[in-house]
Amino acid sequence: MNPKESIKDLYDRKKELESLSLSLKNGERLVIVYGVRRVGKTSLIRAFLNERDFPYILLDMKEIYYVHGSVPIKALYNAVAKEFVRFIGKVGSEPGFDLSEDLGLTGLLKGINEWCRARKLTFIVALDESQYLRFGGKIRYDGIIAWGVDNLSNVTFILTGSEAGMLREFLRYEDTEAPLYGRFRNEIYLNRFTKEEGFGFLRRGFKESGKTISEKALEEVSRDLDGISGWLTYYGYYRTVEGMKHEDAIKQVFREGSQLTLKEIEKVISRSRKRYIYILKAIVDGLDTWGVIKAYVSSNAGSLSDTILNSLLQTLIKLGIVEKAADDRYMIPDPVAVYAIKRLKP
């Protein structure tokens, strides 16, 4: 249930892997990978980097944020320096420059760039869940990335984000006043598996474990878990490793998954908890148009203005918890999140 380490362990991500390969072959400096939670972004990047000759570091920005409550530049500097030293140690090399903190983050990246230039290499700086870089305080990480794209010819930044709206809001590459405006980037989107892809994913996993899965079970898993590879992986683990029966495995996915999801949701809604809960419950109960949501929230959590409701809905959309369909109805795409929200208490 951990992120995959090898391309052979991935399923049906050929198009995305080819796009990553082409980006590096063409010397592109900025690659952005979007996708909802647990769709496999980290697995894709980790497996891709593990099987390429490029030197790289892969850092989880969410981890730094959870430890510090922000993303301090000192913490990011230390993480980059530590991973760079670890990498060059594996190849028996020396950095060739002073790694003291007096360098600053841009100085460190310059040193890494020069190390790579001397060896005719491209260094990959992969920042997972990079929307958390918006919590840099006075530090403009979008500016540092833009500077790197402009000045570091031997460094490529790969950014991933499960909160696509928040990541776009941080990058602001369509804002003429933003540092990254006008910079070329390759955007890669990881979608949920289709029904057929989900079937193939599970069949392969069961075959590799020496077990079989019935067509009826495939249909029910597809219906209940909706092509999210992380939940399908949980199900496969409970069936093939834990030896659970089909019905028990699905129940366990919802029990375990909802606990993880509730923790994530509680972090989001803490500042206006009651209103957020009733917005989510309205959508789950099929009260999914703007006016009906407003009436439901107002009757349960007190009146609120159009502006406030729009702001709360936009936050949920940016965080990837809620989606707005073409018919202007709101929906929660993750079935485990739906299960979790039904159990949320105001």
pLDDT value of residue 36: 75
pLDDT value of residue 58: 92
Residue 125: alpha-carbon gap to chain centroid:
16
The angle formed by the CA atoms of residues 196, 252 and 334, to the nearest 5 degrees, is 50
Residue 159: alpha-carbon gap to chain centroid:
9
- Which domains does the chain show, CATH number per domain? 7-189 (3.40.50.300), 195-263 (1.10.8.60), 268-342 (1.10.10.10)
pLDDT value of residue 89: 85
pLDDT value of residue 6: 56
Q: What is the pLDDT of residues 181-210, one digit of tens each?
A: 988 899 988 887 888 888 888 888 898 889
Residues 6+ apart with CB under 8 A from 106: 144, 147, 148
Q: What is the pLDDT of residues 47-102, one digit of tens each?
A: 888 877 778 999 999 999 999 999 999 999 999 999 999 888 887 888 888 776 67
Look at residue 214 and tell me whether its pLDDT is greater than 80: yes
- Give the percent of the chain with pLDDT over 90: 52
User: Which of 159-163, 280-284, 309-313 is least confident?
Assistant: 159-163
The mean pLDDT of 272-285, rounded to a whole number, is 94
Give per-residue burial for 128-163: e unless 16+ CB within 10 Å, then b: bbbbbbbbbeebebbebbbebbeebebbbbbbbbbb
pLDDT value of residue 162: 77
pLDDT value of residue 270: 83
Look at residue 248 and tell me whether its pLDDT is greater than 60: yes
Distance CA 48, CA 20 (A): 8
pLDDT value of residue 9: 66
**pLDDT tier at 273, thresholds 50, 70, 90:** very high
Look at residue 1 and tell me whether its pLDDT is greater than 50: no
Look at residue 276 and tell me whether its pLDDT is greater than 50: yes
With 0-12 CB in 10 A as exposed, 13-18 as middle and 19+ as buried, what is 5? middle
Helix, strand, or coil here: 305? coil
pLDDT value of residue 336: 93
The mean pLDDT of 312-317, rounded to a whole number, is 90
Distance CA 280, CA 299 (A): 14
By C-alpha distance, which of 272, 259, 263, 260 is closest to 313? 272
pLDDT value of residue 120: 92
Note whether 34 and 164 are within 8 A (CB).
yes
- Across the chain, mean pLDDT equals 89
The mean pLDDT of 119-133, rounded to a whole number, is 92
